[in-house]
């Protein structure tokens, strides 16, 4: 499994305001996103950016699937980090929202970036973060991060305590059960229209099938597949151009193998979704890079 690092305080957390009085304010071509599609957080931002129709307003620079600096950061991002913080000592990591006018970083904090995309840039897509839905979106986010991702990590720790693995699998299945119930009566996680909660759930399911599954036994994976509404929902979203067009399956695999700390298990042979069926023939630039 990938090593779990302690939650780090984001390096930069400025926000986009309503107008010039706020310092950073939305203007066409002023800001730029720097994303690596093999990174789950970057994938969330890329999907959201496309759903909102921001191609003409907020350009995106795609980075290699794996960091290319000796310290584990991105060489292309180092000038931005150093311009934003003198002698910046940390990794030049993605995602980054930068300001073209000042040549500095606005934010590296994914939740803030997602909220600012939906609230400040006025795209032509759906309202992905409706006012009043904050608690519901945050609740789904916790379900994904704790109930699915962290539980899958625990369930796949084959060098750990068997009881802890069983507890992790049970928690993972409960989280999937909760999603299955939600999707029994609605098209999307929070209702009839897509929100950031759907983006989070979909990216989490992609990671569950393309990364975590490789460290689970076959019986566990078969139990995970016993949530037909969840996986039908994942396939339906993958068929939407805003979702499937950003899948960098080769990059995800290489990122996983670069950071993996655990042995592969029998679940690696039990694919849940044929994600390749949803990848466009013309891969994103980052997926074609040999890094």
φ and ψ of 192, to 5 deg: -85, -20
φ and ψ of 203, to 5 deg: -65, -40
Name beta bridge partners: 99: 31, 104
Does residue 189 share a domain with residue 69? no
Residue ranges of alpha helices (H) inside 7-133 are 40-51, 78-84, 110-120
Does residue 146 share a domain with residue 227? yes
Q: Residue 87 has which token pair? A: 């002698």
> Mean pLDDT, 10 residues at a time, over the chain (291 residues)?
42 76 80 97 97 94 96 96 92 96 95 93 83 95 98 87 93 98 96 96 97 93 97 98 96 89 73 94 47 33
* Long-range contact pairs involving 182-186 (C-beta distance under 8 Å, separation at least 24): 183/229, 183/230, 183/233, 184/229
* pLDDT (0 to 100) of residue 20: 65
Instruction: Pick the last residue of a domain from 120, 155, 180.
Output: 120
Does residue 29 share a domain with residue 109? yes
125 within a domain of the structure (yes/no): no
Does residue 181 share a domain with residue 106? no
Helices then strands (H, E): number in the chain? 12, 4
Name beta bridge partners: 97: 33, 107
Instruction: Pick the last residue of a domain from 120, 154, 189.
Output: 120
Does residue 225 share a domain with residue 92? no
* pLDDT (0 to 100) of residue 284: 47
Q: Can you give the CATH number for the domain in which 110 is found?
A: 3.40.30.10
Does residue 233 share a domain with residue 91? no
Contact of 112 with 13, CB cutoff 8 Å:
yes
Does residue 278 share a domain with residue 146? yes
Does residue 187 share a domain with residue 159? yes
Contact of 15 with 97, CB cutoff 8 Å:
no
Q: Residue 273 has which token pair? A: 């979704």
Does residue 196 share a domain with residue 93? no
Nearest to 247 by CA among 50, 115, 3: 50
Instruction: Specify the DSSP class assigned to residue 280.
Output: -
Instruction: Pick the last residue of a domain from 90, 120, 150.
Output: 120
3-state helix, strand, coil in the chain (%, to 5): 50, 10, 45
* pLDDT (0 to 100) of residue 25: 80
Q: Please report the beta strands in the chain, taking only residues with DSSP state E, as ranges in sequence order.
A: 31-35, 60-62, 96-99, 104-107
Which domain, by its residues, includes 43?
A: 20-120
Q: Residue 62 has which token pair? A: 């795609």
Does residue 115 share a domain with residue 183? no
Ramachandran bin of 36, using left for φ above 0, alpha for ψ from -120 to 50, beta for the remaining angles = beta
1 within a domain of the structure (yes/no): no
- How many CA atoms are closer than 13 Å to the CA of 139, on its beta-carbon side? 10
- Provide the domain count of the chain: 2
Q: Can you give the CATH number for the domain in which 162 is found?
A: 1.20.1050.10
Does residue 154 share a domain with residue 90? no
């Amino acid at each position: 499994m990938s090593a779990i690092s302690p939650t780090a305080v984001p390096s930069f957390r400025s926000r986009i305001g309503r107008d010039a009085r706020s310092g950073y304010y939305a203007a066409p071509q002023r800001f730029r996103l720097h994303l690596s599609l093999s990174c789950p957080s970057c994938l969330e931002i890329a999907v959201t950016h496309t759903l909102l129709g921001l191609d003409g307003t907020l350009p995106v620079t795609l980075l290699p699937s794996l960091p290319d600096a000796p310290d584990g950061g991105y060489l292309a991002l180092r000038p931005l980090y150093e311009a934003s913080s003198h002698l910046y000592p940390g990794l030049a990591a993605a995602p980054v929202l930068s300001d073209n006018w000042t040549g500095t970083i606005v934010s590296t904090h994914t939740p803030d970036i997602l909220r600012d995309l939906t609230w400040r840039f006025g795209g032509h897509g759906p309202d992905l973060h409706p006012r009043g839905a904050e608690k519901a979106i945050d609740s789904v986010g916790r379900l994904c991060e704790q109930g699915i991702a962290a539980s899958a990590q625990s369930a796949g720790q084959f060098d750990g305590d068997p009881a802890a693995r069983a507890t992790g699998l049970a928690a993972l299945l409960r989280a999937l059960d909760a999603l299955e119930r939600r999707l029994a009566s609605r098209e999307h996680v929070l209702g009839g229209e897509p929100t950031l909660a759907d983006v989070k759930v979909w990216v989490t399911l992609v990671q569950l099938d393309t990364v975590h599954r490789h460290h689970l036994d076959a019986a566990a994976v078969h139990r995970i597949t016993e949530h037909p509404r969840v996986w039908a929902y994942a396939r339906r979203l993958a068929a939407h151009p805003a979702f499937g067009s950003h899948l960098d399956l080769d990059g995800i695999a290489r990122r996983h193998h670069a950071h993996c700390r655990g042995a592969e298990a029998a679940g690696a042979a039990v694919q849940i979704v044929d994600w390749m069926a949803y990848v466009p023939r013309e891969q994103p630039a980052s997926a074609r890079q040999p890094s």
